[in-house]
Amino acid sequence: MNQPFALEITSTQNEKLKHLLKLRERKTREQSGEFLIEGYREILKAYEAKVPLKSLFFSQERFLGANEHALIDKIGKSTRLYSLKGDLFDKYSYRHRPDGLLAVASIARQSEEEFAKAIFKKALGQAPFILLAESIEKPGNLGSIFRSCDAAGVHGVIVCDKQTDVFNPNVVRASIGTLFSVPFIECSLEAALSFLSKHHIKLVAATPHAKEFFTEVNFKEGIAIAMGSEQLGLSANLMDKATIKVKIPMYGAADSLNVAAATTLMLYEVVRQRHFV
């Protein structure tokens, strides 16, 4: 089988390579409407989810598996390919262990109506199961939250009053590509609350001041689990609007869990109640 045509790039002066570094910055992502996806697993998931891939930079010397060529063949039909030597590729990789694949993709956003449709399609008649992430600061946490949402079968994620944008390369990485399999929107808290109210979805907040534990409350109705920033937790405004408040039992010296860990607990309590009780 013929490999699709790839242009070789040999110099760091190349404008396309310079653009790769700039795409690590939010400003450039917003201006260009593009973002980075690195790694076999992530690029494959993006391809399968029909994320528009604009270019693929690869370095054969860095491949870690046996399937990279097959992926390049598939992607190469509609995407520009650029081949790099290993040393040069490493300068643009943002991973510990580069696997020789880095793609530039177009940012595609769902409108509120498309998001609502996607949720109800995924829910298959079940009560909606939403995650509301408010002002999460660390890309690793936001990515890990997406990964847990995917695993728990969350119908949609609302990222509101964002501190980190979902197209940050470290969100994509920590999500291991699940960013492409879970419907999401970014919006203001106000828009998020109005969306939930319109669709009769109850807001659930985890707070140490709640009376009931998270395993004692009914999660079978349509709900949005709200999780707040690492430093400050949920905003007072959001806390006010929550109709269900629950706490996670804490038996140690610290008074909170990592936000992605706490999110996973909350999500899987919904799973337990809906599938195992």
* Residue 275 interacts with a second copy (CB under 8 A): yes or no: yes
218 burial (CB, 10 Å; 0-12 / 13-18 / 19+) is: exposed
Strand, helix or coil for residue 17: helix
* Binder of a second copy out of 87, 216, 221, 240 (CB under 8 A): 216
Question: Least Å distance between CB 68 and a second copy?
Answer: 17
CA distances from 115 to 77, 101, 156, 158 (A): 29, 30, 8, 9
End-to-end CA distance of the chain: 52
Residue closer to a second copy by CB (options 32, 163) is: 163
Number of H helices, E strands in the chain: 11, 12
Measured in whole angstroms, how far is the alpha carbon of residue 193 from the centre of its chain? 21
Site string for a second copy, 133-162 (x = CB under 8 A): -------x---x--xxxxxxx---------
* Residue 248 interacts with a second copy (CB under 8 A): yes or no: yes
Residue closer to a second copy by CB (options 181, 235) is: 181
Question: Least Å distance between CB 241 and a second copy?
Answer: 26
CA distances from 219 to 115, 130, 223, 233 (A): 22, 11, 7, 21
Count of residues in contact with a second copy, rule CB under 8 A: 42
Residues near a second copy (CB under 8 A): 45, 48, 140, 144, 147-153, 174, 176-178, 180-182, 213, 215-216, 248-254, 256-258, 260-265, 268, 271-272, 275-276
